């Protein structure tokens, strides 16, 4: 059987080295490249054959989520595992929108990394065990939303992120949309809800149960 070829991208060299060493212990795995920023990783993907890319969300010279989306669009045969410290539902949803095959928290990495890779290799999606409670909380909030909500699902995502203190730039990155699109969503929300002040958007989100 041919080895399963893996690339690793993380801006923390020591963490990258620890991950590489743990994977090199598996006879069927081959590390074919590693990078410390988004640009370096994209160059590697273009020039080196691989089966799986493991990458962080927050890296220099770009966004890991944007790179994940680019890989799944330009190289659909390559699988992507997000390995990150971010345990929020917003980041998980953004990774799913980018078509990532797995989402593993760094605090789970040394117990679950091999499990995650083998799951993805078999054609399954993988989500870190530590996110189970976050997912359950998100499900309960969604179940409590009024059935006759005025807002679209995307508008709900935007108002929720904005009310949690995210900037327009951060909202755009999390939802994998442009800055101008995120800004327009906020403008349309205010117009639709007849709201002028940002604080009133937050009050509306709390009232409707979109945030706690």
Q: How far apart are CA 77 and CA 22, in angstroms?
A: 24
Q: How far apart are CA 21 and CA 34, in angstroms?
A: 12
Q: Is residue 136 part of a domain?
A: no
pLDDT of residue 212: 65
Q: Are residues 115 and 163 in the same domain?
A: no
CATH for 167 = 1.10.10.10
Say whether both 115 and 23 belong to one domain. yes
Distance CA 12, CA 3 (A): 26
The single-letter DSSP state of residue 58 is B
Q: Does residue 64 belong to any structural domain of this protein?
A: yes
Of 85, 104, 129, the domain-final residue = 129
Q: Which residues have a Cβ under 8 Å from the Cβ of 122 and sit 6 or more positions away?
A: none
- The answer to whether residues 106 and 159 belong to one domain is no
Report residue 12 CA to chain centroid gap: 18
Q: Which residues contact 137 (CB under 8 A, 6 or more apart)?
A: 89
Position 142 scores a pLDDT of 54
Tell me, yes or no, whether 85 and 153 share the same domain: no
In a domain, 137, yes or no: no
Q: How many residues does the chain have?
A: 212
Residues 15 and 107 in one domain: yes
Residue 138, in any domain of the structure: no
Q: Which domain holds residue 180?
A: 144-207
Residue 150: predicted pLDDT: 73
- Per-residue pLDDT 10s for the chain (212 aa) are 789 999 999 989 999 999 999 999 899 999 999 999 999 999 999 999 999 999 999 888 888 999 999 999 999 999 999 999 988 878 888 898 899 999 999 988 888 999 999 999 999 989 888 776 666 555 545 544 554 457 888 888 899 999 988 999 999 888 888 898 999 999 989 888 888 888 888 888 888 888 76
The reply to whether the predicted model has a pTM over 0.85 is no
- Give pairs for 176-183: CB < 8 Å, separation 24+: 176/65, 176/66, 176/69, 176/94, 176/97, 176/98, 182/158
Check whether residue 120 and residue 163 sit in a common domain.
no
pLDDT at 32: 96
Number of domains in the chain: 2
Judgement on whether residues 116 and 20 belong to the same structural domain of the protein: yes
Query: Residue 86 in contact with residue 57, Cβ under 8 Å?
Result: yes
Q: Are 78 and 179 within one domain?
A: no
Instruction: Report d(CA 8, CA 64) in Å as an integer.
Output: 12
């Amino acid at each position: 059987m041919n080895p399963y070829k893996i690339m690793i991208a993380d801006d923390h060299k020591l963490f990258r080295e620890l991950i590489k060493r743990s994977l090199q212990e598996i006879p069927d795995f081959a590390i074919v490249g590693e990078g410390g920023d988004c640009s370096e990783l994209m160059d590697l993907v273009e020039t080196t054959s691989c089966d799986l890319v493991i990458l962080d969300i927050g890296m220099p010279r770009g966004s890991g989520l944007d790179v994940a989306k680019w890989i799944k669009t330009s190289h659909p045969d390559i699988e992507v595992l997000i390995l990150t410290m971010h345990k929020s539902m917003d980041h998980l949803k953004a990774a799913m929108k980018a078509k990532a095959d797995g989402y593993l928290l760094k605090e789970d990495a040394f117990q679950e990394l091999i499990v995650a890779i083998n799951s993805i290799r078999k054609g399954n999606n993988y989500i870190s065990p530590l996110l189970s409670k976050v997912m359950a909380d998100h499900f309960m909030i969604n179940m409590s939303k009024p059935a006759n909500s005025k807002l679209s699902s995307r508008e709900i995502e935007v108002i929720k992120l904005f009310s949690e203190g995210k900037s327009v730039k951060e909202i755009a990155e999390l939802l994998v949309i442009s800055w101008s699109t995120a800004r327009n969503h906020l403008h349309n929300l205010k117009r639709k809800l007849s709201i002028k002040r940002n604080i009133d958007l937050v009050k509306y989100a709390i009232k409707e149960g979109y945030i706690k």
